[in-house]
Amino acid sequence: MKLIDAAVRKAKPEAKPYKLADGGGMYLEVMPNGSKYWRVKYRYGGKEKRLAFGVYPDVPLALARERGDEARRLLANDTDPGAVKQAQKAMKLERAANSFEAIAREWFTKHSPGWAASHASKIIQRFEKDVFPWLGGRPIAEITAPELLAVLRRIESRGALDTAHRAHQNCGQVFRYAVATGHAQRDPSGDLRGALPPARGGHFAAIIEPAKAGELLRAVEAFRGTFAVKCALLLAPLVFVRPGELRKAEWADIDLDAAEWRYFVTKTKTEHSVPLATQAVAILRELHPLTGHGRYAFPGHDPQRPMSDAAVNAALRRMGYDTKTEITGHGFRAMARTILHEELYVKPEVIEHQLAHRVPDTLGTAYNRTKFLKERRAMMQQWADYLDKLKAGAEVIPLRA
């Protein structure tokens, strides 16, 4: 008699393991500790064998039956399903052992003893910060030239052209090592000769005479710090939250599909919602492969702690700004508050709610995270589009609604 979901779900453990048959050799084995295992009994080569299909409820009844049917199809073709499963397991282990990161670390281990400690440290940090987050898990034999170029251009985009060239060189060394050791057939880095501009020493891009905000945005775009700090700088004017709220942002609070970031504002003791413009979502999606495995979007040197509260201001100083007289991390809030009202004619109460300020409510209703949410969502996209025009150096002439 076939099993039903209710019988599987309600099966209780007993003092000894027992079986619930589903037909065709398949059964559920219920263990004394309450674990439930799907198995199938079959004969191959004159021997009785057993094959495990997984643990209930991770593997539901319907999926277990599909796996049982596949095992029977293999037997009908004179193939041992247990041997097939072992081969698949071995293949997965081999793919993991042949990942780009595994081969790169093997190459590094063999060659680094002959290098100066400072040189070795720079190379492994370059891999860990700029290459492994995007290519580390890929089987090295399957990586293509366009995939590698995308990684190099990401480095180039932050103004680190020399680092991009060095990463290209190091990746080429790893690929050639993989070819020599039989882990890959060819070196795709050779296809990228000439794909990057020649390294001429770092400098900021030339800037036309823009508005002060446009100058700042272009300076941020050309910033040469770590990728996470640059993302924080790019995001700061788009969301204009308090600096501490930005650096402590947690991935669990960010819904990229819904384009929304929700968190608790300790200063006002309220829940707050930040609608994310498409530009902000794009920045966070690019950052996610680097820091998305942890708690914080912008972790510090210790990944269990957020970025230092001095990181953004230190970056602004590196860009040539005086954080005492020109701009600080907190200054992005004042910039948004002023320009949104005076140039884009957004209602002050809408801006104030987005700034997570306590706003007097003439109707007597409590401040809440959904107040003016529709208007704020439209405002945040309008603001991001406006910043793009400023950054491009366009003369922006706002029109009153």
Catalytic residues: 242, 267, 330, 333, 357, 367
80 residue type, one letter: D
The DSSP result for 128-158, as a single string, is IIIIHHHHTTSBGGG--HHHHHHHHHHHHHT
**Angstrom distance (rounded) from CA 225 to CA 95:** 34
For the chain, what's the residue count? 401
Strand pairing class (47-56; 260-265)? unpaired
d(CA 350, CA 379): 9
Those residues with Cβ within 8 angstroms of residue 17's Cβ, 6 or more apart along the chain or in another chain = 29, 30, 31, 32
Instruction: Indicate the residue type of 47.
Output: K
Judge whether 40 and 68 are in contact, CB under 8 Å: yes
With contact defined as beta carbons under 8 Å apart, do 129 and 121 qualify? no
Contact (CB, 8 A) for 285 and 259: no
